[in-house]
Structure 1
Amino acid sequence: MTDQPTPMMAQYLAIREANPGALLFYRMGDFYEMFFEDAIAASAALDIALTKRGTHLGAPIPMCGVPVHAAESYLLTLIRKGFRVAIAEQMEDPAEAKKRGSKSVVARDVVRLVTPGTLTEESLLEARRHNFLAAWAQVRDESALAWADISTGELRVMPCPRPRLAPELARLAPRELLVAEGVDLRELARDAGAAATERPPSSFDSVAAVRRLGALFRVDTLDGFGSFSRAELAALGAIADYLDLTQRGQLPLLRPPVREAAGGAMQIDAATRRNLELTQALSGGRDGSLIAAIDRTVTAAGARLLERRIAAPSRDLDLIHGRQAAVQHLLDDARLTADLRDALSRVPDIDRALSRLALDRGGPRDLGAIRAGMTQAVAIAAMLGDDRAPVLAEAARDLTGHDALIDLLDDALVAEPPLLARDGGFVAAGYDTDLDETRALRDEGRGVIARMQADYIAQTGVQSLKIKHNNVLGYFIETTATHAEKMLAPPLNASFIHRQTTANQIRFTTVQLSELETRILNARDRALEIERGVFDRLVAAVLERAGPVGQAARALAEVDLAAGFADLAASEGWTRPEVDDSRAFQIEGGRHPVVERALKRQGAPFVANDCDLTAGDVPAIWLLTGPNMAGKSTFLRQNAIIAILAQAGGFVPASRAHVGLVSQLFSRVGAADDLARGRSTFMVEMVETAAILNQADSAALVILDEIGRGTATWDGLSIAWAVMEHLNAVNRCRALFATHYHEMTALSARLDGVENATVAVREWEGEVIFLHEVRKGAADRSYGVQVARLAGLPPAVVDRAREILTALESGEREHGVGGTARPVALIDDLPLFRAAPPVPAAPAAKPTQSEVEARLRALNPDSLTPREALEALYDLRDLLD
């Protein structure tokens, strides 16, 4: 016989079945409870106690729970560990359920499905990074990628064939990727750090997408938003459908979709982003990345804009020049920049406050954020004035026209609103007369009663009249029988209603007193009800101006980024690059911002270097040789970073820079095993190199370091040689190619556009000194043995390595490159390596026992009196003398 589930557990199981693939947070009073497999999984993930509640099918039901007031922190942990969470709230007052009968269950339903790509809570988001939800759709031979950040309202779409998907995901770094069932993109999603979520094919229906998007934006046609392909509509529609599912009909405040052109930005693949550490260091985290070194923004929106610009540098010259002009304008006016940054530092995150209000997850503090942001917007517009760069002029226009909204919020809100509307106390005194009176009753009930009592005394002339209260009658008027006769007679009897007669007193009430009593008893709830109504009206007023408010938020981010770039250029000595549509790449005094920042902290200077890859119509390639630790990799990376900063619209770490538009940036610097895919270091290197050779066009910039190092010497040299020839003859691009194969320096005489460069070193008394200077010419050796000694290899190993190196070099001189001599044969005549015999430890001398030690051993502390112990101590000291 099996036991039947209780009504509550039956409800839980029904809700759980309707929301597969998600943990169910089931609201029970002040806790979200989980049962069965959900409880087991959640208790392990959250490290909370697993308990039991009742039985099901003869077995105890596992159970765990989290407090409602602390749910966000637990949600964050679960989301980071890959869970999705369905939140089931109580949809009615438990008292209503009791009225239906003892077995009735409080109505509950899922109000939201929390997933990595649909977060809006401030505590669950990184303030300075976007939280993108992406969707990839394929309709016949067309493909598209759409992405949205519901916390800021951004929505974009672009054509995206399958080969372009990995680079675009690397650029966006979405938290969640929607794909149609049967389309396996889990590996791509994992590489981008996203959770892959499969959706039914109907979610990607392009015809249904028109209806979904129309409902989302409350329009009858999408023509006003531009023209979209069927694949783009399918991707956008999948996002709209998923938001409807996860938000349970409470759709976010998204801006109309923007179509991005595929060639509008510099293409940077995932490996290049990782190698250059643009937004995340190789060690993990933001610290040590490019963006950490250059981020001078003071607002969260400005930081997110900076990340977008670095992730996708523009190829539009007008945009680049306009952004540069804004930075230059602020750089030339240090006082204005300082004032702007001070005002911007008081701007809250308007976009995310607006989004929470639209999703009915906001509170009074979000209204306060809108007020503060719009107030600063008006002030910043006034600072910018009329004489400014076009980008700043456009921003200033978007920052004005919000006076009515500011005045409304100023009048309605207290200076420091609370977080939650349900707590009340956020509406300013004097804004709502009814609320003021209700608060007075709530907070000053005794005073109100006293004033009413004084009014009644004046009306009746009865000085002994009192207004009292008890639990039976509530509030009542009491007077003596003698004075009561007056109140029972006309005209006072029309106002004073007899309620009770006692031995010595007669009690009355009035209509006003009864109403006042009701108002006092209900004052707290009534005050909260009035404030909630005010809150709803204020939210409606804000959302009515959501478009202009959002535009102002974007303008503030633009000003913040320009001011941040100007501050960076002023403090670090950066310069405005010349950017055009040529094939130039001339850098004078270039520096690596991350390395320079680290050296500055240590009090060490950074050695700047020039780079010139300008060669007209022919390829321009520098073949860079020199020892490890001399700075080759830094030199390679800094030039790639300068190209990114230039096309992002910022200034660059150089004394002069001329950058012809870079269409694609490829960097293969450093490598590691990819154990998840079963790839060795060499295989990873070859895969990345293949991607470069197959994709790089003549406007690309390619950075290659140590191609072929993961295999045998002659194999590696052959591969590196062939790659160099392919770059020169087929790709015909600008490139920096670092290698330890010194034989390749001969290519400068065979290939047009190839020049040799080397990182200079100096030897002094057997030591190698790294000068970190890049000069024209070729290195004659790699100084690997010297570097090994600096790294701390045992002296015997270093000496043996020198012997072997001398033998190999002498053999190469005799036989030449590619000669018949085998490396082992060249060292056959060397004596075998012998480890130095260990130095025997000297036998420890047996310590002699001193008289002090003998006396101490003879003492028995437990048997000594205090006086004897003191005397013994003096005796021992005398022995030392």
Structure 2
Amino acid sequence: MMAQYLEIKARHQDALLFYRMGDFYEMFFDDAVAAAEALDIALTKRGKHDGAEIPMCGVPHHAAEGYFLTLIRKGFRVAVCEQLESPTEAKKRGHKSVVKRDVVRLVTPGTLTEESLLDARRHNFLAALNVVRGDAALAWTDISTGALHVMPLAPVLLAPELARLAPSELLVAEGSEPGVSAIADDLGIPLTTVARGGFDSVSAEKRVSALFKTASLEAFGTFSRAEVGALGAIVDYLELTQKGRLPLLQPPEREAIRGIMQIDAATRRNLELTHGLGGGRTGSLLAAVDRTVTAGGARLLERRLSSPSMRLDIIHRRLESVSFMVSNRSEATQVSGALRKVPDLDRALSRLSLDRGGPRDLVAIASGLAQAEHLLATLCSSQQLPGDLQDALNALRGHDALLELLDKALIAAPPLLARDGGFIAPGFDSDLDEARELRDEGRSLIAKMQAKYAATTRISSLKIKHNNVLGYFIETTAKHAESMMSAPLSETFIHRQTTANQVRFTTVELSEMETRILNAGNRALEIEKRLYERLKQAVLEACVQVSAAAKALAEFDLACALAEIAVSENWCCPDIDDSRDFEIQGGRHPVVESALRRTGEPFVANDCDLSGGDAARIWLLTGPNMAGKSTFLRQNALIALLAQMGSFVPARKARIGLVSQLFSRVGASDDLARGRSTFMVEMVETAAILNQADDRALVILDEIGRGTATYDGLSIAWATLEHLHDVNKSRALFATHYHEMTQLAGKMDGVANATVSVREWEGEVIFLHEVKQGAADRSYGVQVAQLAGLPKAVVDRARVVLEALEKGEREGPAQKALIDDLPLFAASPSPTEIVKTGPNPLEQRLADVHPDSLSPREALDLLYELKALNEESVG
């Protein structure tokens, strides 16, 4: 056995080998040490190898999925080694023969399909990057749904595209550029290096063509050598990890690089599109807008939110779908009700294709198709549907035969595994019904046979009994046995045994019944397994149609979900065109508004016009911290993104010319692992914007230059704004605390000043959160510090220093000399502090009080006394 283990392990050195032994997966040697530590399970020893004890650990095979996930998350790969025959079959080759075993699957982050290992509402992409003589291509697939895509890729767009897709695993060829590894590491994407031969475009085309049974890939479009190589690498890797059992991949779709809005990794992170700052969905735009009720619809929402379209026809078709559901609330409610009962068809289909499914996946297919039929009946009688929804409705047709077969064959609540049996409905298969009857009703069948034989022989005392030696037998007294051993009964009844008082017989019919009863359980299970394979094959033969229905159901779900939030949150349908306009009336931040609603506070809506012409295309925004500048910046970026994904937007009215790129430099943090300070991170992100933004980009910048000396920061911010205006010519919102920059509005036609309104009352600042034209008079930093809870002495001292500094700016060098001598860290109390000289009478009286000794009357008298002392001290 250990020789067999070592031979298999030698072929999978880069993975932990889960070696099946009965009901456990066992690990040995270094694998056992690593797995025991990673899984926090006991490490034991078993036998010796080369004179040393062999480390060993194991996990139950029925609970292995949870252990797989833990190991995958900790960076391991797992080779699953199964028994390919039973011990009985092995013994047929010789008494000491070892059960045949081999690896049937490599478990990696990008090849998970198990329901328990995946987030149903997110894709799990496996991607491959191929570079051929300067040309690059990125291919990706989700084997749990079968989607397969490829796109040409400029090197500068690798990071943004990987950030958009967020693949669970990225394949690269040996000797790839180190920059790829750095990008993957920065985005937290596991990198897998494969042989260069896997990316060879000639063999890749043959491999992919064979998969889809076509003569060439031209049937699906024109692909470059780099794209073909990337597709081939994915197929080759799946053949390796799935050991030849490929998933149901859909034909490759080629995505145009200019077909979607470009959003880099920093912008996705700053705007919290799909993940909040904490790393999960909480606080993200996705969480705030998600009203989908199916797993497929949720994945489609995330995909569209991550990839807003640049094609007007696609955007308008999507908006028409949402508008239909907004206008037809009755139909939308019925559709949503039916969709709530739809299981995850895509992933059920994938598990069946990889032979990792079970009866519940067949029932899921049946349930999904039943709801598709219900939707078809609901919507066929309604008014004409818009284009995308009509196409989706058409994809719900033509599943009657498969649905009828599955409905007849399956019970409503089947077991998880086919080997458990009991999932085929009664009446579907006569042989199965007979086997179950024998298994479940053997006694009644024997009783019927006993009555039959008693009538035939006219011996009422005749019995059919059973023991472990003879099995089933007919027993009668010696007196009656004579007639049974005589013709014509002797032709039916065969003598088996005579005892002192009884004679025992059998019949051919009874022997056959006995065999059938004893084997009925196994036979019933074998029949069910055979029927499961037949039903699975029927589903897989219709996989194209089932997959199309799954897509259609997701399309309906997303349209209903976006309509639901549009109605409930009072969102408007945006007007998207090919201009460079950007006019938002009454815009709101969907995430912040949702959070404020839970506290009962209203969200203050604001307008924004970056259309150019009479309106400026760049707004320079000033005002104090906490007044809402960052929220205003982000909400306009999110409105543009929502509009181009095909959603209504949180505004009273929105008119938006296509946005080709979305850039955000909001917030700051250092990157110690890569040796970058906060200021360096800010400058790297700003450089990316200035080097890439075109005249259709929307740029939001917040506090550029604040991480360095005042005049350095001001200079950088000033030059950045000039470059955006003169060179990039982008639409932009630029927030700053450098009030000197407000002068640019008078020097550049495309720049306008805007500010967030505040009011000051009795030394405190009140935030109105209203954006209006004009510049802020000051930053109110000291007042904000007071609101934050800084000690009063610090706040008062800050006011003194601020007054001296501002006076120095007004009165020139003479006053500045006085500022240089200003004791910034003076220990003396501020002028407004009250200097206490000792305890007052009130405090002295309270010190003498012993509450436990007071009677109610004394306590009341004391209260009057203290009140009088307090009035005297105030006077």
Residue correspondence of structure 1 range 589-738 to structure 2 within 5 A: 589-616=586-613, 620-738=617-735
Which residue does the alignment assign to 1:105? 98
* Residues 609 and 616 in structure 2, CA contact (< 8 A), matched pair in contact too: no
Pair 1:160 & 2:172 matched: no
Structure 1 residue 281 displacement after superposition: 0.5
Which residue does the alignment assign to 1:872? none
In structure 1, distance between residues paired with 2:805 and 2:616:
35
In structure 1, distance between residues paired with 2:531 and 2:480:
46
Pair 1:303 & 2:298 matched: yes
Structure 1 residue 432 displacement after superposition: 0.6
Q: CA 1:823 to 1:189, structure 2 compared with 1: closer, same or farther past 3 Å?
A: farther
Which residue does the alignment assign to 2:808? 811
Which residue does the alignment assign to 1:462? 459
* Residues 807 and 827 in structure 1, CA contact (< 8 A), matched pair in contact too: no
Q: CA RMSD in A?
A: 2.1
Residue number among 172, 191, 203 corresponding to 2:186 in the alignment: 191
Structure 1 residue 823 displacement after superposition: 6.8
Q: CA 1:737 to 1:832, structure 2 compared with 1: closer, same or farther past 3 Å?
A: closer
* Residues 384 and 392 in structure 1, CA contact (< 8 A), matched pair in contact too: no
Q: Secondary structure at the match of 2:259?
A: coil
In structure 2, distance between residues paired with 1:655 and 1:618:
19
In structure 1, distance between residues paired with 2:29 and 2:480:
72
Residue number among 371, 378, 387 corresponding to 2:366 in the alignment: 371
In structure 2, distance between residues paired with 1:655 and 1:356:
46
**Structure 2 letter corresponding to 1:325:** E
* Residues 78 and 84 in structure 1, CA contact (< 8 A), matched pair in contact too: yes
Residue correspondence of structure 1 range 740-819 to structure 2 within 5 A: 740-815=737-812
Q: CA 1:822 to 1:235, structure 2 compared with 1: closer, same or farther past 3 Å?
A: farther
Residue correspondence of structure 1 range 469-618 to structure 2 within 5 A: 469-616=466-613
Which residue does the alignment assign to 1:95? 88
Q: CA 1:849 to 1:402, structure 2 compared with 1: closer, same or farther past 3 Å?
A: closer
Q: Deviations over 1:355-406 (max 9, x none)?
A: 0000000000000000000000111122222522111111111111111111
* Residues 805 and 819 in structure 2, CA contact (< 8 A), matched pair in contact too: yes
Q: CA 1:391 to 1:821, structure 2 compared with 1: closer, same or farther past 3 Å?
A: farther
Q: CA 1:493 to 1:221, structure 2 compared with 1: closer, same or farther past 3 Å?
A: farther
**Structure 1 letter corresponding to 2:336:** R
Bigger shift: 425-434 or 464-473? Answer: 464-473
Structure 1 residue 107 displacement after superposition: 1.2
What TM-score does the superposition give when structure 1 sets the normalisation length? 0.93
Structure 1 residue 223 displacement after superposition: 2.4
Residue number among 195, 199, 212 corresponding to 1:200 in the alignment: 195
Bigger shift: 395-404 or 451-460? Answer: 451-460
* Residues 266 and 663 in structure 1, CA contact (< 8 A), matched pair in contact too: yes
In structure 1, distance between residues paired with 2:224 and 2:815:
62
* Residues 278 and 289 in structure 1, CA contact (< 8 A), matched pair in contact too: yes
Which residue does the alignment assign to 1:285? 280
Structure 1 residue 487 displacement after superposition: 2.3
In structure 1, distance between residues paired with 2:836 and 2:492:
115
Structure 1 residue 91 displacement after superposition: 1.0
Which residue does the alignment assign to 2:394? 397
Structure 1 residue 848 displacement after superposition: 12
In structure 1, distance between residues paired with 2:157 and 2:277:
23
Structure 1 residue 814 displacement after superposition: 2.3
Residue correspondence of structure 1 range 148-297 to structure 2 within 5 A: 148-183=141-176, 184=178, 185-297=180-292
Q: Secondary structure at the match of 1:727?
A: helix
Structure 1 residue 492 displacement after superposition: 2.5
Q: Secondary structure at the match of 1:347?
A: coil
Q: Secondary structure at the match of 2:526?
A: helix
Structure 1 residue 34 displacement after superposition: 1.0
Q: Secondary structure at the match of 1:666?
A: strand
Q: Deviations over 1:257-277 (max 9, x none)?
A: 000011000000000000000
Which residue does the alignment assign to 2:75? 82
Residue correspondence of structure 1 range 311-330 to structure 2 within 5 A: 311-330=306-325
Which residue does the alignment assign to 1:438? 435
* Residues 583 and 616 in structure 1, CA contact (< 8 A), matched pair in contact too: no
Q: Secondary structure at the match of 2:798?
A: helix
Pair 1:362 & 2:357 matched: yes
**Structure 1 letter corresponding to 2:493:** F
Aligned length: 841
Flag structure 1 segments of 5+ consecutive residues without an equivalent: 1-7, 854-881
Structure 1 residue 197 displacement after superposition: 0.1
Flag structure 2 segments of 5+ consecutive residues without an equivalent: 854-875
Residue number among 37, 45, 50 corresponding to 1:52 in the alignment: 45
In structure 2, distance between residues paired with 1:785 and 1:730:
37
In structure 2, distance between residues paired with 1:707 and 1:849:
60
Structure 1 residue 143 displacement after superposition: 0.8
Which residue does the alignment assign to 1:448? 445
Structure 1 residue 453 displacement after superposition: 1.3
Pair 1:429 & 2:426 matched: yes
Which residue does the alignment assign to 1:114? 107
Structure 1 residue 216 displacement after superposition: 2.2
* Residues 302 and 557 in structure 1, CA contact (< 8 A), matched pair in contact too: yes
Q: Secondary structure at the match of 1:522?
A: helix
Q: CA 1:832 to 1:236, structure 2 compared with 1: closer, same or farther past 3 Å?
A: closer
Q: Deviations over 1:738-789 (max 9, x none)?
A: 0000000000111121000000100011110000000000011111111111
Structure 1 residue 827 displacement after superposition: 4.3
* Residues 204 and 228 in structure 2, CA contact (< 8 A), matched pair in contact too: yes
In structure 2, distance between residues paired with 1:821 and 1:56:
88
Q: CA 1:822 to 1:539, structure 2 compared with 1: closer, same or farther past 3 Å?
A: farther
In structure 1, distance between residues paired with 2:837 and 2:451:
107
Which residue does the alignment assign to 1:862? none
* Residues 809 and 816 in structure 2, CA contact (< 8 A), matched pair in contact too: no
In structure 2, distance between residues paired with 1:353 and 1:219:
26
Q: Deviations over 1:169-214 (max 9, x none)?
A: 0000000000001113222112233210000000111111112112
Residue number among 379, 382, 387 corresponding to 2:377 in the alignment: 382
In structure 2, distance between residues paired with 1:425 and 1:161:
55
Q: Secondary structure at the match of 2:257?
A: coil
Q: CA 1:726 to 1:766, structure 2 compared with 1: closer, same or farther past 3 Å?
A: same
In structure 1, distance between residues paired with 2:136 and 2:95:
57
**Structure 1 letter corresponding to 2:198:** S
What TM-score does the superposition give when structure 2 sets the normalisation length? 0.93
Q: Secondary structure at the match of 1:579?
A: strand
Q: Secondary structure at the match of 1:263?
A: helix
Residue number among 342, 360, 373 corresponding to 2:337 in the alignment: 342
**Structure 2 letter corresponding to 1:10:** A
Structure 1 residue 849 displacement after superposition: 15
Bigger shift: 14-23 or 341-350? Answer: 14-23
Q: Secondary structure at the match of 2:568?
A: helix
In structure 1, distance between residues paired with 2:412 and 2:844:
78
In structure 1, distance between residues paired with 2:212 and 2:351:
17
* Residues 609 and 615 in structure 2, CA contact (< 8 A), matched pair in contact too: no
Q: CA 1:219 to 1:456, structure 2 compared with 1: closer, same or farther past 3 Å?
A: farther
Which residue does the alignment assign to 1:874? none
Which residue does the alignment assign to 2:871? none
